[in-house]
Amino acid sequence: MSISLDDPQRFRPLVAQAHQVAMNMLRPISRRYDKAEHDYPKELDLLAAMIDGLSESDASEGAGAAAVKRSADADDGSVRNGANLASVLSIAEMCWGDVGLLLSMPRQGLGNSAIASVASREQHERFDGLWASMAITEPGTGSDSAGIRTTAVLDGDEYVINGEKIFVTSGARSDAVVVWATLDRDLGRAAIKSFVVPKGTPGMTVERLEHKLGIKASDTATIRFEDCRVPAANLLGSPEIDVKQGFAGAMATFDNTRPLVASMAVGCARASLDLTRELLAQAGVEIDYDRPAITQPAAAAKLLQMEADWEAAYLLVLQAAWLADNGRPNSLEASMAKAKAGRVGSDITLSCVELAGSVGYSESELLEKWARDSKILDIFEGTQQIQLLIVARRVLGLTSAELR
């Protein structure tokens, strides 16, 4: 059986269109909004409207945060290249343009991916068109999502939410926030559920915006919930606490969102590689792909090594997305993709700054910005260390209690 590593032919127009948007719409405003931290990029309103129109016409091939979910397993032996694969391919192209601007895109938040992953059919219809951010991290809980302290207590036909969330991407701009909270702290991981909390709900307060190393175009908020009441129908998925299932229901969201973040790292790293290759050529360093790296200049050998690392990360991203499209378990592959792409993305962008010397370190090019932007992609949606821990558990067949 042969395997093709080329982009699926049906997605090539989508990928080409995303590349044009990245080059002609995102790159030209990239530096401006990096310097104007917390200013909303108004140009994205037009772009978001275009993406909405493409989605409604099916011209986007189902790509986008709201379309990312697990497909039913094919029982006829066929394979699918679906919305997950279309999304990672198009997101990588957009992040070749600018990661922070992609993260600022209306109705393309990680909260939208969470809704797509676990919402019921009725909730999908009710929350259609909503721009949702995702609130997981707390002042005392980062990588260990199971340690969430925010509570949700059922009172009649409403849940009362109390707690504080930090590092909420698009937390001030989005229409709603998908909040992770526990129904019962004594029951541990199994009691953690996610809730859609619309902006303007009494008891929900955006307290501040963070100043950050990178992705400055994207607002990152701290949000407090004090006796914040939301309809019971806004709980995503089942309200039942299944101790045997444990945390699996809530964590299923990450199986779809981690490949998306990995594709962001892949796109940003490729931007750095492309520009560095051009800069090296201008300096008289040509990369010969028909000769061993050891026989070439050190800069060329370094670029060849980075391209090999990038290719490995890219293929892992495609694998994780393809498995989701075909209804197959991909928790291991999603974490492998996130771990590899996150680390490689950060290493490549910083190494490109080094190879380009003063040009890489200055603001005359975007290399230094990409190095700053890429670091967050190795941190949020589960840090490098957490991803490697998950991979080890899956490979060794151990539980979280057995391998910490």
**Distance (Å, whole) CA 361 – CA 83:** 38
Phi and psi, residue 194, nearest 5°: -120, 145
Query: SS3 for 137-173, per residue?
Result: CECCECCCHHHCCCEEEEECCEEEEEEEEEEEECCCC
pLDDT for 389 beyond 90: yes
Handedness of CA 203, 233, 181, 138 (dihedral sign): negative
Find the helix or strand (DSSP H, E) in which 179 lies. Answer: strand 176-182
The one catalytic residue among 138, 333, 365, 381:
381
State the chain's mean pLDDT as an integer: 91
Q: Tell me if the pTM is above 0.75.
A: yes
pLDDT digits (tens, 9 = 90+) for 290-340: 999 999 999 999 999 999 999 999 999 999 999 999 999 999 999 999 999
Query: SS3 for 186-236, per residue?
Result: HHHHHHEEEEEEECCCCCEEEEEECCCCCCCCCCEEEEEEEEEEEEHHHEE
Alpha carbon separation from 234 to 17, 131, 194, 195 (Å, rounded) = 35, 15, 9, 6
Residue 1 pLDDT: 42
DSSP letter, residue 7 = P
248-396 in CATH: which number?
A: 1.20.140.10
Query: SS3 for 52-75, per residue?
Result: HHHHHCCCCCCCCHHHCCCCCCCC
pLDDT for 31 beyond 80: yes
**Do the domains at 9-123 and 131-236 have one common CATH topology?**
no
pLDDT for 3 beyond 70: no
Strand partners, 135: 179
Percent of the chain with pLDDT over 70: 91
**Distance (Å, whole) CA 138 – CA 267:** 29
**pLDDT class of 400 with cuts at 50, 70, 90:** confident
Q: What is the mean pLDDT of residues 44-49?
A: 92
**pLDDT class of 182 with cuts at 50, 70, 90:** very high
pLDDT for 192 beyond 60: yes
pLDDT for 278 beyond 60: yes
For domain 9-123, the question of CATH label 1.10.540 is answered with yes
Class of domain 131-236: mainly beta
Tokens of 158: 């409403």
Alpha carbon separation from 118 to 41, 70, 102, 231, 248 (Å, rounded) = 30, 9, 23, 17, 12
Domain boundaries, the chain: 9-123, 131-236, 248-396
Reduced to 3 states (helix: H, G, I; strand: E, B; else coil), residue 77 is coil
Residue 51 pLDDT: 84
pLDDT for 366 beyond 60: yes
**Distance (Å, whole) CA 339 – CA 316:** 10
pLDDT digits (tens, 9 = 90+) for 72-93: 655 556 678 889 999 999 999 9
Residues 6+ apart with CB under 8 A from 86: 11, 14, 60, 61, 62, 63, 67
Handedness of CA 324, 326, 330, 336 (dihedral sign): negative
Reduced to 3 states (helix: H, G, I; strand: E, B; else coil), residue 135 is strand
Tell me, rounded to whole angstroms, the distance of Cα 65 from its chain centroid.
9
Instruction: Check if 381 is active-site.
Output: yes
pLDDT digits (tens, 9 = 90+) for 134-169: 999 999 887 777 789 999 999 999 999 999 999 999
DSSP letter, residue 80 = -
Residue 252 pLDDT: 73
